[in-house]
Structure 1
Amino acid sequence: MTTATHLSKDSVREHILATGQRIMASKGYSAVGLNEILKDAGVPKGSFYHYFGSKDAYGVALLEAYFADYLADLDATLSQPNSNMAQRLMHYWQQWQATQSFQDCQGKCLAVKLGAEVADLSENMRLALKQGTAGIVKRLSAAIEAGVAEGSLKINNTPTHVAESLYQLWLGASVMVKIVRNKQPFESAMQLTQQSLNITP
Structure 2
Amino acid sequence: MTRKATRDTRTELLLAAERSFAHKGYAAVGINEVLSGIGVPKGSFYHYFSSKDAFGEAVIARYFEQYLAEMDEILDATGTDGASKIMAYFASWRESQGFGDGEGRCLAVKLSAEVADLSEPMRLALKAGTTQIVDRLERAIIGAAADGSAPFTGDARATAEALYQLWLGASVMAKVHRSLASIDTAAAVTRRLLGI
TM-score (normalised: structure 1): 0.92
**Are 1:181 and 2:178 matched, yes or no?**
yes
How far apart in 2 are the matches of 1:174 and 1:90?
16
How far apart in 1 are the matches of 2:185 and 2:194?
14
**Aligned partner of 1:138 among 121, 135, 141:** 135
* Count of matched residue pairs: 193
Letter aligned with residue 29 of structure 2: V
**Aligned partner of 1:190 among 161, 182, 187:** 187
After TM superposition, where is structure 1 displaced by more than 2 Å over at least 4 residues in a row? 6-9, 100-105
**Aligned partner of 1:170 among 167, 170, 178:** 167
Match of 1:44 in 2: 41
Runs of at least 5 residues in structure 1 that lack an aligned partner in the other structure: 1-5
**Are 1:128 and 2:132 matched, yes or no?**
no
> 1:69-80 residue pairs with structure 2 within 5 A?
69-80=66-77
CA distances 1:108-145 after superposition (whole Å, capped 9, x unpaired): 41111011000011011000000000000001100100
Deviation at 1:59, TM superposition (A): 0.4
Match of 1:64 in 2: 61
Match of 2:17 in 1: 20
How far apart in 2 are the matches of 1:156 and 1:100?
31
Determine what percentage of the aligned residue pairs are the same residue: 49
Deviation at 1:7, TM superposition (A): 6.1
CA distances 1:68-106 after superposition (whole Å, capped 9, x unpaired): 000000110001121111111111101001113333341
How far apart in 2 are the matches of 1:38 and 1:118?
21
Contact 1:101 1:177 in 2 (8 A): no
How far apart in 1 are the matches of 2:25 and 2:104?
11
TM-score (normalised: structure 2): 0.95
**Are 1:35 and 2:32 matched, yes or no?**
yes
Match of 2:150 in 1: 153
- SS of the residue corresponding to residue 20 of structure 1 reads helix
Match of 1:88 in 2: 85
Report the CA distance shift for 1:92/1:86 in structure 2 as closer, same or farther (over 3 A): same
- SS of the residue corresponding to residue 32 of structure 2 reads helix
**Aligned partner of 1:53 among 27, 50, 57:** 50
